[in-house]
């Protein structure tokens, strides 16, 4: 069982708990992006097992009529075992999800995975129009070119600042520079895309900029934030905009929770309060 200290950031261990969480946020007009925690598998059985769980989640989301999509990690679906394995598993998940009208996001991992991830997105988004999205990272120097190339692909793009500690030859290391790149990417997307923009950020300045750009260009967009981070803002924003909450679940929750607790002092304070019972 997930201890109360972690349950702010993780939606449970089982699919049923995750879907209960989805139901709760849906009642407050927030949509959910369900992610089964898992990455960097070195053998096929856990890849097969997670892929099967995503397929069954897609069915359950459709049957329960929930406002939810899926988000998968390439290395969870076998990328470390080879591009063929990844494509076989991802294609199956996307095909089943499409049968149930459930959208699939492909998370972006470190820069060594960008090419196979974007190639998979381009092919699948073309095959299953409007059923697939991919994440791009503002800290990577290549991203502007990637986004220009993806402008005509009929899927969605989630813009994030980037969570991986990348080498300086491929990534901007300075926070202000990453923020500037993030804004420039939003400016490009809102002015050039027909829609399909997801702002994956908790940063009030970036969300405000996205809203300004939406007002200026009229381009549709959605806001995505993580479960447990600025949830009040999520519910407030949902009164006016489309908001999606990324809700991870599964028995591999410990390292995810540790990352969330350590990344900001607000989260750490919350975690300590929970431990100390104050």
Looking at the Cβ atoms of 55 and 161, the one nearer to ligand FAD is: 161
Q: Does 31 bind ligand FAD (CB under 6 A)?
A: no
19 binds ligand FAD (CB under 6 A): no
In Å, how far are 107, 198, 226, 233, 259 from 70, measured between CA atoms? 10, 14, 14, 22, 21
Nearer of residues 67 and 163 to ligand FAD, judged by Cβ: 163
Is 24 known to be catalytic? no
Contact between residue 249 and residue 17 where contact means Cβ atoms under 8 Å apart: yes
Q: How far is CA 210 from CA 141, 165, 200, 204, 227, in A?
A: 21, 25, 11, 10, 21
How far is residue 252 from each of residues 144, 154, 165, 225, measured CA to CA in Å?
A: 33, 33, 22, 20
CB of 158 to ligand FAD, least distance (A): 6
Distances (CA, A) of 153 to 41, 56, 122, 131, 277: 29, 27, 6, 11, 50
Q: Is 246 in the site for ligand FAD (CB under 6 A)?
A: yes
Q: Cα 149 from chain centroid?
A: 21
Q: Which two tokens stand for residue 224?
A: 């995505």
- Closer to ligand FAD at the Cβ: 99 or 119? 119
CB of 114 to ligand FAD, least distance (A): 10
Under rule CB under 6 A, residue 90 binds ligand FAD: no
Position among 17, 29, 203, 231 found at the interface with ligand FAD (CB under 6 A):
203
Within residues 119-138, the interface with ligand FAD by CB under 6 A covers 135, 137
Q: Which of 224, 234, 243, 248 binds ligand FAD (CB under 6 A)?
A: 224
Catalytic, 158? Answer: yes
Q: Which of 48, 67, 95, 164 binds ligand FAD (CB under 6 A)?
A: 164
d(CA 11, CA 28) in angstroms, rounded, equals 16
196 φψ region: left (φ > 0), alpha (ψ -120 to 50), beta (else) = left
Which of 8, 55, 87, 158 is catalytic? The answer is 158
Q: How far is the CB of 175 from ligand FAD (least distance, A)?
A: 7
- Residues involved in catalysis: 107, 158
């Amino acid at each position: 069982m997930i201890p109360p200290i972690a349950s702010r950031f993780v939606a449970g261990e089982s699919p049923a708990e995750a879907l209960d969480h989805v139901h709760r946020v849906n009642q407050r007009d927030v949509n959910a992006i369900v992610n089964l925690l898992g990455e960097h598998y070195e053998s096929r059985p856990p890849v097969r097992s997670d892929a099967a769980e995503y397929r069954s989640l897609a069915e359950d989301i459709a049957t329960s009529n929930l406002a939810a999509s899926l988000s998968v990690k390439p290395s969870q679906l076998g990328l470390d075992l080879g591009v063929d394995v990844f494509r076989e598993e991802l294609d199956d998940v996307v095909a089943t999800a499409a049968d149930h009208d459930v959208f699939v996001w492909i998370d972006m991992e470190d820069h060594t995975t960008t090419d196979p991830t974007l190639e998979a997105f381009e092919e699948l988004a073309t095959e299953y129009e409007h059923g697939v999205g991919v994440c791009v990272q503002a800290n990577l120097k290549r991203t502007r070119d990637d986004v220009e190339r993806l402008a005509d692909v009929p899927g969605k793009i989630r813009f994030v600042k980037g969570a991986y500690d990348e080498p300086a030859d491929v990534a901007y290391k300075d926070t202000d520079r990453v923020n500037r790149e993030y804004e420039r990417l939003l400016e490009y997307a809102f002015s050039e895309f027909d829609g399909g923009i997801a702002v994956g950020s908790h940063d009030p300045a970036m969300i405000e900029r996205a809203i300004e750009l939406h007002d200026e260009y009229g381009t549709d967009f959605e806001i995505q934030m993580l479960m447990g981070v600025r949830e009040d803002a999520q519910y407030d924003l949902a009164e006016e905009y489309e908001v999606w909450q990324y809700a991870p679940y599964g028995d591999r929750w410990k390292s995810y929770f540790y990352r969330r607790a350590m990344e900001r002092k607000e989260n750490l304070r919350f975690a300590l309060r929970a431990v100390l019972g104050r």
